[in-house]
Each structure stands twice: as structure tokens, then as C-alpha cells.
Chains A and B, each alone.
Chain A
Amino acid sequence: MSEEDEFELEPIEILELPLDAWHRDKGARMVEFAGYHMPIQYEGIMAEHIWTRENAGLFDVSHMGQLMLTGDGAAEALEALVPGDISALNEGKMRYSLLLAEDGGVLDDMMITAVPMGLYIVVNGAVKWDDMVYLREYLPDEITINNMEDRALLALQGPKAVDALKRVVPGADALYFMEAGSFFWGPKTDPEPLWISRSGYTGEDGFEISVPGTHAKALADQLCAQPEVNPIGLGARDSLRLEAGLPLYGHDMTPDVEPVEANAAFAISKRRRAEGGFAGAERILNALANGPVRKLVGLSVEGKMPVREGAPIFAGDAQVGVITSGGFGPSVGAPIAMGYVDADHNAVDTPLEAEVRGKRVPVTVASLPFVPHHYHRKGANK
């Protein structure tokens, strides 16, 4: 028996994050991910996944890059490299965006928040160093890029996340989805400012909390002491985001695809569609106007056998796509997948087949997400 670990990476030196010992104390199984020792699971992926959907899960995502762009005109300058309307972002508002290569390929996906100092950007851990090199090369010298390596990042996700957080950090519950702000935490005599956003990667309501690494353990302990909260590993983070139809960078999104085929046309703001002026604009705007040649879609899988990354997708004898993420959806109760499928075959409900170990498995193009999002949107009826 051998395990083909999908989290395999071969970093030169595996680094420790501020909560390393905390995870081990909690019984985590640690794996190497994005160059760090990270918890893949505590009690088990299935139980952790379901717990998060029903209660609240605490995820350590300190491997992700937290960058601060400062300097006059930072938003306008960044717009040359991302397709979102960044200069229109009001303070405390955030936007999902994409870092674009010169040819329009996706170098990373990221969350950009307007803050008093400039732009606070959270990028993927596995490519954060490449991102910084790219940004430094393409942004004007007067824009400063600060990698806030001294900060940890915790995500508290699930329908009861708000109940737990407002006890620990009073006031944070006032945020709506895709808003962020600074909140004091700890004793009144010596409060610590936390940067908190109402966002996440599970499809549930939840928060992401930027905290100095020196204070990460105390905050994690206090959050986990709340009855709603359990620590959750990367394994459940992956199954939760797959059910939510959210792409995993490096798998569902790579430099080989542009945003429209990556099902991220929503990240191209109206003004930017009209004006262009971002890397790869010609290719991307052409895909918007004429439809992409292939597209990232959801796929429901018949039977119980998971269909995983790399499996080819067929319409009859012709290969028309490839699976980029696949596994078992604990809340769906069945295997689910995402993959790229050619234009003539990617309409919802199209029956196709995936090939696993030489056998054909019936799959059907499905609308995303597999599990409805439960975001706390401003103005929405709850």
C-alpha cells in the first residue's frame, strides 16, 4: 500500500510557523505545504469538515503572504497587473483579484483590501515569493512592498464563527462580507490591534484575522476555548473550498489560463472591461467578448469513486478536458470535481466521462457551488 500524497512539495528547508507547537499539542498530523510544516488534520478530515459547516473551525493559514503596498498611487499602479477596480475601493473594503502575467495568464489569486496605509494583500503561500519578485519588477520604485512576515493569519469559518468571535473581539461582528477593519483584542490596559476581515475560503460566513506572530498562540487558545470552535486542518480546508466551488491556485488556476476560462470573469471590473490597461487585456477582453475556448466547470460524479486531479475528460472518444481538483465532498455525500472542459461541451448538465485507472466514470457538468454559499452580505435577507 502506498500513499500518493497530493500535498507533496519539495522545499529546500521546511520552515516553522508561529503555531507549529500549538498544532502538535492539539494532536495535528503535520505535512509539508508551501515550504512550511502545516497541520493536515487533527481528529479527521470528514469530522472537521462537517464541524466547520455546522459550527466554527479555526484554520491556521499563516503560510499565506501578507503584503502591504504603500506609496502614492499604489492602487493605480497595481491596476496595471490586476483586472479589478482597485482605485475605487473604499477604505475597509476588499476585492478578490488576480495577478496577471504579460500574456494574461494567472500568476496568483489574491484578496486586496484598501487600508489607511495603502493596500493590504493576501496571496497564496506557495507563490508568495514569486509574487513579490514580479510586483517589485513591474511596480514603480516609489511603491513600497512590505512582506509582513511577523504576522500570523487565522481563519475562523462557519455559521457560528460570528458568535465565537464577538465574545473574543467585541465589535468584529459589525463587519459584512468583504469588509475589514482594525479591532482591539485583549486587556483594556494593553490591547492588541488585530486586522480582521469578513471573508474566507469555505463558502461559509467567517473571518480572517491577522495577528502578530508573538500573539498568535494566545489568540488561537482563546478562540478554541469557545464552545463553537475546533481547530481544522488543511485537508478539510481543501474539501470545504471544493464544495464551495472556489479554485485552488496551482491546480484549478495556473499561468496557462486567463481569468475568463478560469471562471473568474467576475473579478474583471466594469470600468476595467471598458478601459483595459492591464496585463494581457487584449487576450482577456477577447475571451470575454467571444467566450473562452475552454472553461473551469464543476462536475458531479456518478457512483462513489472519486475522480481526481489529472484525470482526462471525454465526450465519446474525444478528450475534451481534464480534472484539476477532485475528491469526496463530505457535505455533498458524493465525489465532486472541477476541471477544464472545451467550449462545445461545458454547458451545465452536459454528460461526459472521466477516465480513472483505465475505466470510464460518468460525470455531468454541474453549476457551482456544490454547496450554497452562506455569506453575511450587506443588505441581504438572512
Chain B
Amino acid sequence: MIEFDQVQKSYQVGGRAIPALHATSMTIQAGEVFGIVGHSGAGKSTLVRLINLLERPTDGRILIDGENITDYSAEQLRALRRKVGMIFQHFNLLSSKTVADNIAFPMKLAGNYSSKEISVRVAELLARVGLSDHASKYPSQLSGGQKQRVGIARALACRPAILLCDEATSALDPQTTQSVLQLLADINRELGLTIVLITHEMDVVRRVCDRVAVMDAGRVVEMGAVSDVFLHPQHPTTRDFVFESENIDRNEMQEDLDQASGRILRLTFRGDATYKPLLGQVARDSGVDFSILSGRIDHIKDTPYGQLTLSLVGGDLGVAMSALEAADVHVEVLR
């Protein structure tokens, strides 16, 4: 469990303190995939680097499993860092070492593994990330996705309890992003590893995260379960991210709504409700006609969801509304 207790960070620039992170308190549970989403400069890079103290907080405490790491000695801090793996946007592999040597590097630095243990572990990790055939290649001979897989194997070498991902998929194409995210999700499930993932893409959060914090200008402006934040965004910044990820043009959407007649509703289904033949039933029972203005059926991590914007005309609107509300559906009246 990672706890932030009134953590602040500011940088001295030309004698003035520029805040990068305003006083922030939050808790990341053990074993969850926690996303931090924000535009560049929002402070998410600083936030993630506070967890392994690559950045030191200006004020406040950071606790990992109840221990205040900001009090750690240099030696304790190095021991902590071995238990906190990290992967990076630009992979940061050593160009002078082979794939196998890159993965072995953190174990060699730790100094308490025999060369036999190291070679067994490296082979195991190479197989885990699907790169067994590339052990003696150099990073420059690999594709971006392969490099990130080496990065992940390297981060896992010392069996960490926490994995920090700094824009881990931002330099990858969509297909490679998908496979790297799948790998992260598998690792989280199989090893029970806590993953803290920062990104500027809401889509990454939607696919792998359990909970998410949205950052804007050095503050966490919204935090909660991904399905809540994603389906019912409260803060303007969060809404921007959600619309962006769904490729919704707000002006176009408004035009569509202006042309439609009748009552306009947005229905949000989650879980099993997504697959129930609800709309047909309601239409029959209430005599209401509906047309779909926009809609999307997808998954948030493993949970299916649907979100439909409808216009309802004729029939008994009251009956329709109460039937919808009685069902396992979230109803929002847009007009």
C-alpha cells in the first residue's frame, strides 16, 4: 500500500519556488492497477517519481506498507528501489549491454544473487515477455515493443512488489500498446504486483486500470474507480480526457442533439445489464419510440459497459422513465 500524506513538491527556478505538485493525499492499494492521467506538465511524472524518491518531496510523508520512506537512509532507499521496478517511455535500456545483460543488470547491482540464480531468472523472464530468441541481441536491434518488453523484464528481475510505469506505451504504435498493456495486466493478475501507471491517454486507463487519479496543474482533481470516473466524469479536465478518448467532437454532438426531437436521455449500462434486451421491452411496455443518437459498447478493464444517447418520442414517457430507472441502468436526462 502506498500512501501520500500531504505531499508537496516544488522546484527552485531562479530563486522562486515553482510548485509541481500541490499538497496531495491519496492511497494506492496493494495489488491494484492505479492510473494517473493528465496532460504534460500536470505533475504526474513528479508524482510517480516520488514513490521511489527519484524526486524528494518538499513537504509531507510518503508511506509504503506503513513505513515512512522519506526518513530512509541512503542504504534503506537503495533496498527499497530494488523492490520498486520502473519502466519508461523511452525504455532507457543500456545500449552497451545485450538483452540478457540488461535484464540481469538490477540483480547484479543488488549483489546478493549467484550467477546461476541470475541466469535462471533471466531465462525465465525472457520467456515471460516472449523474447527468448533475442537474449544476445543488443537493444538497437529490437523494435519499440520488444524494447519495452525488455524494460518490463528488467523491472521484474528482483521480484518487486510495485511497478511504476512512466508513459510506458506513449512511444508505441496502437497495436504494440495493446500487447504491452495486456502483458502488464497479466503480470498484475499473476504476480499480484501493484502497478502505478501514468499516461496522457484515457484509453490506456480504461483498458488496464482499476482506479484512476486525474491530474491538472499539479493537483489531483478527480479520483475513483475507473468505471465511475470514465462513465460519469465530474471535472472539466476529466471530461476532456474522456471525450478525447472516444473521439467525440462536442460541437458535432450538440448539433445532433439540436436536430433530434423529444426527450433526450443518456443511458449507462454496466456489467451484465449491457447484454439485456432492455430497450425493446421498455418500448413495448410504454409505447415510446426511440432513436439512437450515439452509442458505444466496450469494456472497462474486464467489465463490459454500454453508453447510449437516445431521443424518446410519443407513448407514455413516465412509464418508460420509471422502467429504465428500475432496471440496472444509470439514466441521465440531457434535455
Q: Do A and B make up one complex?
A: no
List residues of chain B with CB under 8 Å of any chain A CB: none
